[in-house]
Amino acid sequence: MTTFTDDFNRANGAPGANWTDATGLWTIVSNQLSSGTAGGTIIIRATGAMTTSDNSAQVTIAATGAVSHGVFCRANTGSGFTSGYLWRNDGTSWNLFSNVGSSFTSLGSFAGAAVAGDVAKITAVGSTITGYVNGTARVTVTNTAVATGTGVGIRAESTNLLRFDDFTGADVSTGSATKTPSTISQYGSYF
């Protein structure tokens, strides 16, 4: 089982070899991940795959705006984001989606704008898909639209309104939020 973490505390520039810009151009700015300023929706994925399809993704929203941004798990590991589960905020509500063949289906929502400092998390364990804000489950559904996928990452509008910090992608044991015995940092070392 795998855990991938990144605090983005490094020099401004490219996110690094442990990240794949699936679409768009992401950068490190002042020790945070930036989705740039180009406009449109862009995607970044942890380069390394999780070990199982029961996995999660979590990120701190360091700066926010009334634009789409959030985390995904149980996703494809090829180009783009063509399948998986997405938990995102649009400035007025948190929304949980399935994505099958790049076609998004709303699974549930929770009213409320994201604020700076919010921790967004999504988990897919068997057919139970849950979106969390600051450790509290806000939407939980049973859904089998996406049965497999080992990709985790972030999907957001490309705008200077957004910054992200402290990302974690992890395998999740069935019936447990417990992390794994070995952890891989963004530099690939074990600790």
Model pTM score: 0.90
Helix (H, G, I), strand (E, B) or coil at 111: strand
Q: Which residue has the higher pLDDT, 184 or 149?
A: 149
Q: Which domains does the chain have, with CATH numbers?
A: 3-178 (2.60.120.560)
Mean pLDDT (the chain) is 91
Per-residue pLDDT of 93-105, as tens digits, reads 999 999 999 999 9
Are 36 and 27 in contact, with CB atoms under 8 Å apart? yes
